[in-house]
Amino acid sequence: VERLLSGVDACVYLLDYTKLKTQDEASLLQRLKQVNPALVRRLSQRFFFVVNKVDAAQTTSGHDLEATRAYVADLVVLVSARNALLSRCILRGNASPEARAQFLALAFGAFANQALITEDSMRAAARALLADSGVLDLESQVLGHLWVHGSKVKQLALADDLDRLLAEVHGVSITCHAALTASCQALAQRSTELQEHLDATSAAVKATTQHADDLGDQ
Protein backbone atom coordinates (compact mmCIF):
# COMPACT_ATOMS: atom_id res chain seq x y z
CA VAL A 1 0.00 0.00 0.00
CA GLU A 2 2.77 2.43 0.89
CA ARG A 3 4.52 1.72 -2.41
CA LEU A 4 1.31 2.50 -4.31
CA LEU A 5 0.61 5.66 -2.30
CA SER A 6 4.10 6.99 -2.94
CA GLY A 7 3.47 7.04 -6.69
CA VAL A 8 -0.26 7.68 -7.20
CA ASP A 9 -1.48 10.68 -9.19
CA ALA A 10 -4.62 11.12 -7.07
CA CYS A 11 -6.20 9.61 -3.98
CA VAL A 12 -9.75 9.34 -2.65
CA TYR A 13 -9.33 8.91 1.11
CA LEU A 14 -12.33 7.00 2.45
CA LEU A 15 -13.17 7.63 6.10
CA ASP A 16 -15.63 5.66 8.20
CA TYR A 17 -18.16 7.95 9.91
CA THR A 18 -18.33 5.59 12.88
CA LYS A 19 -14.55 5.79 13.39
CA LEU A 20 -13.93 9.53 13.09
CA LYS A 21 -11.53 10.92 15.69
CA THR A 22 -10.36 7.45 16.68
CA GLN A 23 -6.70 6.58 17.08
CA ASP A 24 -6.80 4.21 14.10
CA GLU A 25 -8.13 6.90 11.78
CA ALA A 26 -5.59 9.45 13.05
CA SER A 27 -2.73 6.97 12.63
CA LEU A 28 -3.71 6.14 9.05
CA LEU A 29 -3.92 9.80 8.06
CA GLN A 30 -0.60 10.56 9.72
CA ARG A 31 1.01 7.66 7.88
CA LEU A 32 -0.36 8.95 4.58
CA LYS A 33 1.18 12.36 5.29
CA GLN A 34 4.52 10.67 5.87
CA VAL A 35 4.37 8.49 2.75
CA ASN A 36 3.24 11.20 0.31
CA PRO A 37 3.11 14.69 1.88
CA ALA A 38 2.88 16.41 -1.51
CA LEU A 39 -0.32 14.50 -2.28
CA VAL A 40 -1.96 15.57 0.98
CA ARG A 41 -1.09 19.22 0.29
CA ARG A 42 -3.09 19.06 -2.97
CA LEU A 43 -6.46 18.91 -1.22
CA SER A 44 -9.32 19.08 -3.78
CA GLN A 45 -6.83 18.79 -6.67
CA ARG A 46 -5.22 15.40 -6.14
CA PHE A 47 -6.48 14.41 -2.70
CA PHE A 48 -10.13 14.03 -1.71
CA PHE A 49 -11.87 13.15 1.54
CA VAL A 50 -14.97 10.96 1.42
CA VAL A 51 -16.83 9.98 4.59
CA ASN A 52 -18.91 6.83 4.21
CA LYS A 53 -21.63 5.40 6.46
CA VAL A 54 -23.14 8.82 7.18
CA ASP A 55 -26.47 7.01 7.42
CA ALA A 56 -25.21 5.95 10.85
CA ALA A 57 -25.75 9.56 11.95
CA GLN A 58 -29.41 8.68 12.35
CA THR A 59 -28.75 5.77 14.68
CA THR A 60 -25.65 6.80 16.64
CA SER A 61 -24.71 9.62 18.97
CA GLY A 62 -21.60 10.62 17.00
CA HIS A 63 -20.94 13.84 15.10
CA ASP A 64 -23.74 15.40 13.13
CA LEU A 65 -23.10 15.93 9.41
CA GLU A 66 -22.04 19.57 9.72
CA ALA A 67 -19.62 18.74 12.53
CA THR A 68 -18.24 15.92 10.40
CA ARG A 69 -17.73 18.25 7.45
CA ALA A 70 -16.00 20.83 9.65
CA TYR A 71 -13.77 18.18 11.22
CA VAL A 72 -12.46 16.76 7.94
CA ALA A 73 -12.42 19.61 5.42
CA ASP A 74 -14.65 22.11 3.68
CA LEU A 75 -14.55 20.09 0.47
CA VAL A 76 -15.32 16.72 2.01
CA VAL A 77 -17.98 14.54 0.38
CA LEU A 78 -20.35 12.77 2.75
CA VAL A 79 -21.83 9.57 1.34
CA SER A 80 -23.89 6.56 2.27
CA ALA A 81 -22.81 3.77 -0.05
CA ARG A 82 -25.49 1.52 1.44
CA ASN A 83 -28.33 3.91 0.60
CA ALA A 84 -26.95 4.50 -2.89
CA LEU A 85 -26.63 0.79 -3.57
CA LEU A 86 -30.16 0.01 -2.38
CA SER A 87 -31.59 2.90 -4.41
CA ARG A 88 -29.84 1.89 -7.60
CA CYS A 89 -30.90 -1.72 -7.20
CA ILE A 90 -34.52 -0.54 -6.99
CA LEU A 91 -34.15 1.80 -9.97
CA ARG A 92 -32.51 -0.91 -12.07
CA GLY A 93 -35.06 -3.51 -11.06
CA ASN A 94 -32.49 -6.03 -9.86
CA ALA A 95 -32.96 -5.75 -6.10
CA SER A 96 -32.99 -9.02 -4.21
CA PRO A 97 -35.94 -9.68 -1.87
CA GLU A 98 -33.71 -8.83 1.09
CA ALA A 99 -32.50 -5.58 -0.51
CA ARG A 100 -36.06 -4.65 -1.48
CA ALA A 101 -37.29 -5.21 2.07
CA GLN A 102 -34.40 -3.19 3.48
CA PHE A 103 -35.10 -0.34 1.08
CA LEU A 104 -38.82 -0.27 1.90
CA ALA A 105 -38.10 -0.14 5.62
CA LEU A 106 -35.53 2.60 5.09
CA ALA A 107 -37.60 4.74 2.72
CA PHE A 108 -41.10 4.26 4.14
CA GLY A 109 -40.53 3.09 7.70
CA ALA A 110 -40.44 -0.31 9.30
CA PHE A 111 -44.20 -0.32 9.94
CA ALA A 112 -45.41 0.95 6.56
CA ASN A 113 -48.06 -1.08 4.77
CA GLN A 114 -46.01 -2.35 1.86
CA ALA A 115 -49.11 -3.46 0.00
CA LEU A 116 -50.05 0.21 -0.48
CA ILE A 117 -46.64 1.21 -1.87
CA THR A 118 -46.71 1.45 -5.67
CA GLU A 119 -43.78 0.93 -7.98
CA ASP A 120 -43.89 4.60 -8.98
CA SER A 121 -43.72 5.79 -5.38
CA MET A 122 -40.93 3.30 -4.71
CA ARG A 123 -38.90 4.57 -7.66
CA ALA A 124 -39.51 8.17 -6.63
CA ALA A 125 -38.29 7.35 -3.13
CA ALA A 126 -35.27 5.58 -4.61
CA ARG A 127 -34.34 8.66 -6.65
CA ALA A 128 -34.69 10.87 -3.58
CA LEU A 129 -32.66 8.50 -1.41
CA LEU A 130 -29.96 8.23 -4.08
CA ALA A 131 -29.68 12.02 -4.29
CA ASP A 132 -29.49 12.23 -0.50
CA SER A 133 -26.83 9.49 -0.34
CA GLY A 134 -24.11 11.86 -1.58
CA VAL A 135 -22.81 9.35 -4.12
CA LEU A 136 -23.98 11.52 -7.02
CA ASP A 137 -21.95 14.39 -5.54
CA LEU A 138 -18.97 12.07 -5.24
CA GLU A 139 -19.29 11.04 -8.87
CA SER A 140 -19.68 14.60 -10.17
CA GLN A 141 -17.34 16.51 -7.85
CA VAL A 142 -14.54 14.00 -7.42
CA LEU A 143 -14.66 11.36 -10.12
CA GLY A 144 -15.91 13.90 -12.67
CA HIS A 145 -13.11 16.27 -11.71
CA LEU A 146 -10.52 13.54 -12.16
CA TRP A 147 -12.01 12.59 -15.52
CA VAL A 148 -12.17 16.14 -16.90
CA HIS A 149 -8.89 17.35 -15.41
CA GLY A 150 -6.94 14.11 -15.68
CA SER A 151 -4.06 15.68 -17.61
CA LYS A 152 -3.77 18.53 -15.09
CA VAL A 153 -3.78 16.06 -12.20
CA LYS A 154 -1.03 14.10 -13.94
CA GLN A 155 1.03 17.27 -14.42
CA LEU A 156 0.60 18.21 -10.76
CA ALA A 157 1.68 14.72 -9.76
CA LEU A 158 4.76 14.97 -11.98
CA ALA A 159 5.59 18.42 -10.59
CA ASP A 160 5.25 17.18 -7.02
CA ASP A 161 7.38 14.14 -7.84
CA LEU A 162 10.04 16.38 -9.37
CA ASP A 163 10.26 18.34 -6.13
CA ARG A 164 10.62 15.10 -4.20
CA LEU A 165 13.16 13.65 -6.62
CA LEU A 166 15.19 16.86 -6.69
CA ALA A 167 15.24 16.85 -2.90
CA GLU A 168 16.46 13.25 -2.96
CA VAL A 169 19.13 14.11 -5.56
CA HIS A 170 20.19 17.08 -3.44
CA GLY A 171 20.52 14.83 -0.42
CA VAL A 172 22.53 12.27 -2.37
CA SER A 173 24.79 14.97 -3.81
CA ILE A 174 25.51 16.32 -0.34
CA THR A 175 26.36 12.83 0.86
CA CYS A 176 28.59 12.20 -2.17
CA HIS A 177 30.30 15.58 -1.73
CA ALA A 178 31.01 14.81 1.90
CA ALA A 179 32.32 11.37 0.99
CA LEU A 180 34.51 12.75 -1.80
CA THR A 181 35.81 15.51 0.47
CA ALA A 182 36.70 12.95 3.10
CA SER A 183 38.31 10.76 0.45
CA CYS A 184 40.35 13.68 -0.91
CA GLN A 185 41.52 14.55 2.57
CA ALA A 186 42.45 10.94 3.21
CA LEU A 187 44.29 10.73 -0.12
CA ALA A 188 46.15 13.97 0.59
CA GLN A 189 47.16 12.66 3.99
CA ARG A 190 48.27 9.36 2.47
CA SER A 191 50.22 11.20 -0.23
CA THR A 192 52.02 13.25 2.41
CA GLU A 193 52.86 10.11 4.36
CA LEU A 194 54.16 8.37 1.22
CA GLN A 195 56.24 11.41 0.30
CA GLU A 196 57.75 11.50 3.78
CA HIS A 197 58.47 7.78 3.55
CA LEU A 198 60.03 8.26 0.11
CA ASP A 199 62.19 11.12 1.37
CA ALA A 200 63.32 9.02 4.32
CA THR A 201 64.09 6.08 2.04
CA SER A 202 66.00 8.31 -0.39
CA ALA A 203 68.00 9.76 2.47
CA ALA A 204 68.80 6.27 3.74
CA VAL A 205 69.86 5.13 0.28
CA LYS A 206 72.02 8.22 -0.12
CA ALA A 207 73.64 7.65 3.27
CA THR A 208 74.29 4.00 2.44
CA THR A 209 75.82 4.94 -0.91
CA GLN A 210 78.03 7.54 0.74
CA HIS A 211 79.13 5.02 3.34
CA ALA A 212 79.98 2.51 0.61
CA ASP A 213 82.02 5.14 -1.23
CA ASP A 214 83.90 5.98 1.94
CA LEU A 215 84.73 2.33 2.51
CA GLY A 216 85.96 2.06 -1.08
CA ASP A 217 88.29 5.00 -0.66
CA GLN A 218 89.91 3.34 2.32
Q: Does the model's pTM come out above 0.85?
A: no
Tell me which of 122, 149, 176 is where a domain ends. 149
Average pLDDT of the residues in 7-18? 79
144-177 pLDDT, tens digit per residue, is 877 877 787 777 777 777 777 788 788 888 888 8
Average pLDDT of the residues in 179-184? 86
Element (H, E) at 2: helix 2-7
Which residue range(s) make up the domain with 162? 150-218
Can you tell me the distance from the alpha carbon of 130 to that of 136, in angstroms, rounded to the nearest whole number?
A: 7
> Does residue 91 sit in the same domain as residue 10?
yes
> Does residue 127 sit in the same domain as residue 76?
yes
> Does residue 127 sit in the same domain as residue 115?
yes
More confident residue, 199 or 43: 199
- Whether the CB-CB separation of 182 and 68 falls below 8 Å is answered with no
> Does residue 36 sit in the same domain as residue 83?
yes
Average pLDDT of the residues in 68-90? 78
> Does residue 72 sit in the same domain as residue 155?
no
Q: Which of 7-21, 131-145, 180-194 has the least mean pLDDT?
A: 7-21
Sheet strands (E) in the chain: 11-16, 47-52, 77-78
Alpha helices in 93-149, H assignment, sequence order:
97-108, 119-133, 135-137, 144-148
> Does residue 106 sit in the same domain as residue 47?
yes
> Does residue 57 sit in the same domain as residue 157?
no
14-71 pLDDT, tens digit per residue, is 888 887 777 776 777 777 777 667 666 666 677 777 888 888 766 555 556 666 656 5
Can you tell me the distance from the alpha carbon of 179 to that of 184, in angstroms, rounded to the nearest whole number?
A: 9
- Whether the CB-CB separation of 98 and 82 falls below 8 Å is answered with no
> Does residue 174 sit in the same domain as residue 99?
no
Q: Is 60 left (phi over 0), alpha (psi -120 to 50) or beta?
A: beta
> Does residue 101 sit in the same domain as residue 188?
no
